Structure formats: structure tokens, C-alpha cells
Amino acid sequence: MSMSLKIDLHVHTCYSPCSNLSLHTIERVARQRGLDVIAITDHNTIAGALELMSCPAQLRVIVAEEIKTREGEIIGYFLTEEIPPALSVRDTIREIRRQGGLVSIPHPFDILRTSRLGRTVLEEIISDVDMIEVFNSRDLLQKTDTAFIEEWENRGIVPVVGSDAHQRWEIGKACMMIDDFTSPQEFLANLRTAQRVCKKSPFWVHLVTKLVKQFK
């Protein structure tokens, strides 16, 4: 039987302009909270993910990037090269695929996030998407569309959750319990049977983020 791993799929570091989380803090807190794998999803950079992955530690790191496309944000997982912002969403997806990565849609149901992809765009790219984030610990006004999620699942899109951690107390709030994997495709396949753990972060984490971004 495969070993079950606890993974947070959406974590930011001090390499994101809105977070001051050091790599050392992430590693320490993740281990304290029983995480085995962490996906570093900094805004428009993979520098933090690569640095953390190079550290001699037991924590496994997935190199990811939350990319600001012209239409909105998208996450690429298992990247080897940084993808620049401001490309079209289709060009961004093509670049993720070129690297052998996986495509995920972050926080599509948070109506307060102007950075989310709109419904029309989502319908246009659905055949190129691997995962959709159905729960984000930071969503304040999440208007979940169950019928929409079911439709995407019927088309083979995998529902996932993530903490979207920007501060240490957020790490691991939302995570997946997944069987061990050795490749992006095995990871995606194992996500289909993964258990989801969903906990909300308090509303004031957004105030902290604003302060960090202002004074960083």
C-alpha cells in the first residue's frame, strides 16, 4: 500500500510581494503541522520554491507559480522554469505544458478577488485544465457553484484545496491526504482519490497581508 502524504498545495514565501514568510519558517512550521509535501506558489516567480527545494530537509517541495495572466491568475505545478506574467492565459498554459507541468485554477469562487479568471474564460480553457481549487482558506466570500464543480469533475478536472498561506499561522489550514507519487501524472491520478481537509483562515489575515505589502 502506498504511503499517505499530507500536502498543502498553495503556499507563498517572502519571494511574493504580499508575504514575509521565510523559507526556514515554512519548513519548520510545515514539519510541526505534519506536512510531508508543500507546493510553493509564489506570485510570478519560482525562486523561493527552487531555494527551498535545494535545502537539505525532509520536506518535499513542488515547484509551482501563481502566474498573473492578462485574463487572471493561474497556477502551474511541477515547473522547471519561471513563466513571466502578462501573457495570455492560453500562452501561459502552453508554457506550463511545455515544461511537463500541471494546470490549476486558483480561487475561482471568491467574488472579492478581481484576479480570478472569469467564467467565460474558464469555459474556453476547460479542456486544458487539470485541477480546480474548490476551497481556499483565504476566501472571504466564496460563492461555490456546486453544479459548476460537478460539470468540471465530469470532464476530468480534479477538485483540490489549498491554504493560500501568506503567514505562518495559515500553513496547512487546507490540505490533501494523497498517496505517494513519483511523477506529475501519478500525482494527478492520486489526487482523484485524495482526502480533503478544509479549514478557514480568520478574516484578519488579509489585513496583515496588506500591511506586509505596504511596508515590505
CATH of the domain at 140: 3.20.20.140
Structural domain harbouring 165: 4-215
Look at residue 149 in the predicted model and tell me its pLDDT.
83
Look at residue 110 in the predicted model and tell me its pLDDT.
85
Taking residue 56's Cβ as centre, other Cβ atoms within 10 Å add up to: 4
Mean pLDDT of the chain: 94
Look at residue 57 in the predicted model and tell me its pLDDT.
73
Look at residue 206 in the predicted model and tell me its pLDDT.
86
- E strands, 78-212, are 102-105, 131-136, 158-162, 175-179, 195-197
Query: Cα angle at 182 between 178 and 183, to 5 degrees?
Result: 100
Region 69-91: what's the mean pLDDT? 98
> Do 66 and 44 meet the contact criterion of CB atoms below 8 Å apart?
yes
Region 183-202: what's the mean pLDDT? 96
> For residue 40, is pLDDT > 70?
yes
Flag whether the pTM goes above 0.85: yes
CA 128 to chain centre: 17
Query: Smallest Cα–Cα separation from 184: which of 96, 94, 91, 73?
Result: 96
**Residue-wise pLDDT tens digits, 103-124:** 999 999 888 888 999 999 999 9
The count of structural domains within the chain is: 1
Confidence of residue 140 (pLDDT cuts 50, 70, 90): confident
> Do 104 and 74 meet the contact criterion of CB atoms below 8 Å apart?
yes
Look at residue 114 in the predicted model and tell me its pLDDT.
87
Transcribe 6-17 into DSSP letters: EEEEEE--TTST
